[in-house]
Structure 1
Amino acid sequence: MFNYRQLHYFYSVAKAGGMVRGAEQLHLTPQTLSGQIAQLEEKLGVALFRRTGRRLELTEAGRLALSYADEIFQVGNELEETLRNRHGERPFLFRVGIADVVPKSIAYRLLAPALGLPEPVRMVCREDKFERLLAELAIHRLDMVLADRPLSPGMDVKGYSHLLGECGLTFFAAPGLATKLEGGFPHLLDSAPLLIPGEDSAIRAPLLRWLRGQNIHPRLVGEFDDGALMKSFGQAGAGVFPAPTAIAAEVAAQYGVVSVGRTEAINERFFLITVERKLSHPAALAVSEAAHQGLFPTRETLHKQP
């Protein structure tokens, strides 16, 4: 039978980042802890850690084991909480994956309505690469994935893409750089230093095609997988950068930058990906409704507004 105490020892060491720190947290000696983990490795037939210099690193099998241990102990904590509060109202779990290219402010504004439901909600957010999140969705470890692209036909995942909304792009620059840009938009981008999203971003290719179509040739000075890092470089004056128009006011206020132009010729889209053809999860429905009425209003919604 599987020894869950040994799994907990492994989990504690992996989370603590070392045998000594793990032993201190568990009030055990490093020798005892090391021996227990060695027994677990022997039973499983794989090495969970490898030593690199003085540091312990997880092997590939160790990373897989850690992901399962995370879920096992999370379920255990939920069981304990439920039994202790069985006479109260139990919050329902809402597990959402967020593709790491989705701007944090958009993710927050899309997901926040789920916390306003009449029923208590416990939200678990996991940020990762799009493909890895889809794998988690496929085995029902996530209820939905928030992404900047739909499922492609070539992906071996059974799921459905629900469009939350779309918006154009606004280009920003630090005030000092903005004063040096010459001409009207978009031609002021020609020869200007430009910061762009990394290869994982769905908007990158359309952005570069649009620039070529306008016969605009900026100086690409930086590519960023992390949108917040790109904005920080833009804030420092390293270059002009794009952001979704839906959060233009927020970007300007947070980073102290100014808009140098915007276009609707490039649309950044955001999707809710689920295993359901029709949304039924209360939190997912709240996210979709709020997106269409607030952050990304549809034409029908706009016509209904006074």
Structure 2
Amino acid sequence: MQNAALNYRHLYYFWVVAKEGSITRAAERLDVAIQTISAQLSLLEQSLGKSLLAPQGRRLVLTEAGRLALGYADQIFLLGEQLMDALANTDLERTMRLTVGISDSLPKLISSRLLEAALGLNERVKLVCYEDKFESLLGDLSVHKLDVVLTDRPVPSGTTLRVFSHLLGESEISLFGLPQLAQRYQADFPASLNGAPLLLPTRNNAIRGRIDHWLESHDIRADIVGEFDDNALLNTFGRNGLGLFPAPSALETDVRNQFDAVPVGALSPVKEQFYAISNERKIKHPAVDAILGAIHGKVFQPQKPAEPG
């Protein structure tokens, strides 16, 4: 039976069982009898000539063939969702869906600026954005759950995932703070930072090590009053005046407007880099191409505050 056509209903039942970890939970989710799922899983395995699931205690775990099949099933059913979205928009103006993974360490203002490049296309783009850890996003990208990942680091060398790093640009990092707080430390910068309250990313963030090295190289003993895994939360505490906080110098105008903060000084030569991670595709996504082309535009050129009028 190995040459029989693939039954996609059987494959869908396998996909749900693999996600739920048991036939019982899959049956509850699908509202069908346990015996129905068991029978259709057996028919799928017979047609493929491979065992896809194996019992392990009270759970079912994927065999090697099952892991391979699940990767393809992920792609197949994601395409099904995209098909439904595309058909739902046939009565409206043409819409392109762009599914983006955003690393939780990437500054939100940078994410917004990069996505503006995709939204500038003539064709209407529907954005679907997910924020998660870098490693989780790479896994989703590799099985085509995402079109692109925006992050602050390249893919590690030696990875077995078929994903590719594209450097979009970089920006020098500056310290910002509310005007009254920043004024105390602007004179005699950077020596003035001794004892200054700082809000920094946690040490698993790519930029944190560079900032720590900069402080050490200038023999600065600042008071680190907060460390944050989430960049948006860090900026929120900065806006509330808890301490000085780092942000890309290229976003000075945005930082002023959104957080009422002013620059204290640049941490030269500390720079933060920004990447788009894509997977290998035969057909390029126009919106992803627009993001990758942002490096040729003005996305990371330093902003100048508007002149008072």
Tell me whether the two structures share a fold, i.e. TM-score over 0.5. yes
Q: Which residue of 1 aligns with 2:254?
A: 250
8 Å contact from structure 1 (residues 148, 270) kept in 2 = yes
Q: Give the aligned residue type for 1:210.
A: W
Q: Which residue of 2 aligns with 1:228?
A: 232
Q: Give the aligned residue type for 1:126.
A: Y
Q: Give the aligned residue type for 2:225.
A: V
8 Å contact from structure 2 (residues 198, 226) kept in 1 = yes
In the alignment, does 2:174 pair up with 1:170? yes
TM-score (norm 2): 0.70
Instruction: Return the alpha-carbon distance in structure 1 between the equivalents of residues 300 and 144 of structure 2.
Output: 28
Instruction: Return the alpha-carbon distance in structure 1 between the equivalents of residues 263 and 89 of structure 2.
Output: 51
Q: How does 1:1-306 map to 2 (within 5 A)?
A: 36=31, 39=34, 78-83=82-87, 90-181=94-185, 183-276=187-280, 280-297=284-301
Displacement, 1:104?
A: 1.3
Unaligned runs of at least 5 residues, structure 2: 1-8, 20-27, 42-52, 55-60, 63-71, 303-309
Alpha-carbon RMSD:
4.2
Q: In structure 2, do the counterparts of structure 1 residues 35 and 211 end up closer, same or farther at CA, with 3 Å as the change threshold? A: closer
Q: In structure 2, do the counterparts of structure 1 residues 262 and 90 end up closer, same or farther at CA, with 3 Å as the change threshold? A: same
Displacement, 1:105?
A: 1.5
Worse-matched range after superposition: 178-187 or 134-143: 178-187
Worse-matched range after superposition: 284-293 or 128-137: 284-293
Q: Secondary structure at the match of 1:216?
A: coil
Identity between Structure 1 and Structure 2 (%)? 43
Q: Secondary structure at the match of 2:243?
A: coil
Q: Secondary structure at the match of 1:201?
A: coil
Unaligned runs of at least 5 residues, structure 1: 12-32, 47-59, 62-67, 299-306
Q: Which string of whole-angstrom CA distances, capped at 9 and with x for unpartnered residues, describes residues 18-52 of structure 1? A: xxxxxxxxxxxxxxx79948949x95999xxxxxx
Instruction: Return the alpha-carbon distance in structure 2 between the equivalents of residues 192 and 94 of structure 1.
Output: 42
Q: Give the aligned residue type for 2:273.
A: R
Paired residues, what number?
266
Instruction: Return the alpha-carbon distance in structure 1 between the equivalents of residues 210 and 29 of structure 2.
Output: 52
Q: In structure 2, do the counterparts of structure 1 residues 165 and 74 end up closer, same or farther at CA, with 3 Å as the change threshold? A: same
Runs (4+) of structure 1 moved beyond 6 Å? 68-74
8 Å contact from structure 2 (residues 75, 143) kept in 1 = no
8 Å contact from structure 2 (residues 115, 291) kept in 1 = yes
Instruction: Return the alpha-carbon distance in structure 2 between the equivalents of residues 74 and 278 of structure 1.
Output: 17
Q: In structure 2, do the counterparts of structure 1 residues 229 and 38 end up closer, same or farther at CA, with 3 Å as the change threshold? A: farther
8 Å contact from structure 1 (residues 291, 297) kept in 2 = no
Instruction: Return the alpha-carbon distance in structure 2 between the equivalents of residues 73 and 211 of structure 1.
Output: 49
Displacement, 1:91?
A: 2.9
8 Å contact from structure 1 (residues 164, 291) kept in 2 = yes
Instruction: Return the alpha-carbon distance in structure 2 between the equivalents of residues 82 and 35 of structure 1.
Output: 25
Q: Secondary structure at the match of 1:107?
A: helix
Q: In structure 2, do the counterparts of structure 1 residues 150 and 35 end up closer, same or farther at CA, with 3 Å as the change threshold? A: closer
Displacement, 1:171?
A: 0.6
Q: In structure 2, do the counterparts of structure 1 residues 231 and 292 end up closer, same or farther at CA, with 3 Å as the change threshold? A: same
8 Å contact from structure 2 (residues 207, 272) kept in 1 = yes
TM-score (norm 1): 0.71
8 Å contact from structure 1 (residues 167, 264) kept in 2 = no
8 Å contact from structure 2 (residues 75, 144) kept in 1 = no
Q: In structure 2, do the counterparts of structure 1 residues 123 and 70 end up closer, same or farther at CA, with 3 Å as the change threshold? A: farther
Q: Secondary structure at the match of 1:164?
A: strand
